[in-house]
Chain A
């Protein structure tokens, strides 16, 4: 930060939203699995989907400070919507994705009226409760969801009528990565908007917001709906690329995992969910390879270590490191 000359306020605010070289390198690097690790493309597409899910949680948790332990509700709802549309005979992926996103968004909009009234512990309980409600509803509605056996008979058509989903996951990863990148662009734009600033205001001080004339509840409803759309699209991607939907997409475990992923990577940092998803999913893949029964032990250890040594997540730690480098030189 250059202290002597007081920067022009417009330049100061514009500088925060400029693309950095590291970002471009990062997104180019996401293409590497196509050549370097073709046998891991299925994993890579799962990572991209999880990253998108974590990105959607970041909007409400990292930016607006709304804690949720039931975010899988929207992921699973999107997943089942996309799966059912395909099962019932419409296997076109892109429209399926949009319909699933809209369905999850509608669910998000409806529940947001409850969410916007509460904070902190009450909010954790409410989101948890709503998530459990939906998971149990899906479990009991066997005729619709297939229950514990999962949704069978999902058949996807070729992407854009040309690229059939292959066993290795070339198309799946390209599809999921493209969707993630587009979702990221939306998030990036949203964060730099006046609305993004208002969300950070809610996170920083919910008491002050009404005192500057801000309708916090309507802001929260809007953010929650957008996050639900994004989570629903992520869930739909999973249903379409794996051609099945299981109850696990709605489970508490998935809600907890995505929270862990976001905190691991660094909440409120745009890339936190993506980095967290990469680290978490690869760690899980490796640990479960070493020790299929006890791999959660290592995940637990990783989480405790990160929270103790990097309280703002991996990206927070990196930011601190680069800041201390810059001040040393």
Chain B
């Protein structure tokens, strides 16, 4: 029995008297497709920030496979395979899509520090970046600066950059935020088609999408995990209805 791809144990975080994470424990098995849901302000993005090292927890530990990564810096965690995307586009506006993804590939391969050889001396890195963009149907616009691309394509670059790091665990913070409904289904089809070796945890507000793509759902409320279960269990749970589905969004 191998350990979970990602284990979060007893994670606490407060800003002054505001508790944003309290005793969070989550196990993400290999190949997971789990959704993290909860009302606004429940602490979902904060949890991703804690897990990826952008925030320091007050207590608790984060294990990637069997390695404790709690003390590592964000870039070191990425090198180990713990990778995130951002709810608000966090891209390289004046780099072309190909340049941006090639950069991420080079950082993973360890050639990004090479200053005496040309980028074109690393054809495998460029091919790999091109391949990632092609797999997301983006090869046609890969030579245009990121800021010129349509919003939906920029959301895809968010994912492309994460894939270029060859993640073992991928945390997607509302990958379809701001994307029209029909396009968001496409986006999630791309996510569902990711390699089975990647464990995915995604934050999403659209319940149709959540129930369609998640094998398990984790519900967070006010910095705590309310419960975790299969979509059927979550849909049947009265507490979830009360805190989230009932008073949540309409339309």
Report which A residues bind B (CB closer than 8 A).
1, 6-7, 9-10, 12-14, 17, 189-190, 192-198, 200-201, 204-205, 207-216, 218-219, 222, 226
A208 touches B129 (CB 8 A): no
Question: Which one of B113, B123, B125 lies within 8 Å of A222 (CB-CB)?
Answer: B113
- Which 7 A/B pairs are nearest by Cβ-Cβ distance? A213-B78, A195-B115, A204-B92, A210-B74, A212-B104, A210-B75, A9-B130
Do A17 and B120 have beta carbons less than 8 Å apart?
A: yes
Contacts A189-B116, A211-B74 given: A12-B143 contact, CB under 8 Å? yes
B223-247: CB near A (< 8 Å → 1, else 0) gives 0000000000000000000000000
Q: Which residue of B lies closest to A214 (CB)?
A: B107
On chain A, the residues within 8 Å of B125 by CB distance are: 194
Q: Name the contact of A215 in the complex, choosing from B75, B126, B165 (C-beta under 8 A).
A: B75
Chain A residues whose C-beta falls within 8 Å of the C-beta of B98 in the assembled complex: 9, 12-13
Binds A, one of B18-26, B79-87, B207-215: B79-87
Given contacts A214-B75, A214-B107, A219-B113, contact A194 B94 (CB under 8 A): no
The residues of B that contact A214 with a CB separation of less than 8 Å are 75, 103, 107, 112
B92 adjacent to A208 (CB under 8 Å): yes
Q: What are 12 contact pairs spanning A and B, CB under 8 A?
A: A6-B139, A9-B142, A190-B116, A193-B119, A194-B119, A208-B86, A211-B83, A211-B90, A212-B161, A214-B107, A214-B112, A222-B115
Those of B91-133 within 8 Å (CB) of chain A: 91-96, 98-100, 102-104, 106-108, 111-120, 122-123, 125-127, 129-130
Q: Does B140 contact A (CB under 8 A)?
A: yes
Give the interface size class of chain B. Answer: 35 or more
With a cutoff of 8 Å between Cβ atoms, the chain A residues found around residue B126 in the complex are: 9-10, 13
B113 x A212 contact (CB < 8 A): no
List chain A residues, Cβ under 8 A from B139. 6
Q: How far is the CB of B50 from chain A (nearest CB, A)?
A: 14
Report chain A residues within 8 Å CB of B130.
9
Tell me the interface secondary structure of chain A in the complex: helix
Assembly CA distance A209 to B115 (angstroms)? 18
Chain B neighbourhood of A218, CB < 8 A: 113
Whether A204 contacts B95 in the complex (CB less than 8 A), given A195-B115, A215-B75, comes out as yes
Name the residue on A nearest B93 (C-beta).
A204
**Interface: B200 (CB within 8 A):** no
Residues in A whose Cβ lies below 8 Å from that of B154? none
Does B164 interact with chain A (Cβ within 8 Å)? yes
Report whether B107 and A212 are in contact in the complex, using a CB–CB cutoff of 8 Å: yes
- B73 to chain A: which residues have CB within 8 Å? 210
Q: Looking at the assembled complex, report how far the CB atom of A300 sits from the nearest CB atom of chain B, in whole angstroms.
A: 29
Which single member of A13, A192, A207, A208 contacts B161 (CB below 8 Å)? A208
Q: Within the complex, which residue of B74, B115, B140 is in contact with A196, where a contact is CB–CB below 8 Å?
A: B115
Per the bound structure, the CA–CA distance linking A206 and B202 in Å amounts to 24
A322 to B177 CA separation, bound complex (whole angstroms):
38
Docked-complex contact A205 and B165, CB < 8 angstroms: no
Inter-subunit contact B91/A212 (CB<8 Å):
no
- In the complex formed, the residue of A with least CB distance to B122 is A194
B118 touches A205 (CB 8 A): no
- From B79, B96, B99, A213 is in contact (CB under 8 Å) with B79
B92 pairs with A201, CB closer than 8 A: yes
Assess whether A10 is in contact with B123, with CB atoms less than 8 Å apart.
yes
- Using Cβ atoms and an 8 Å threshold, which residues of chain B touch A13? 98-99, 102, 119-120, 126
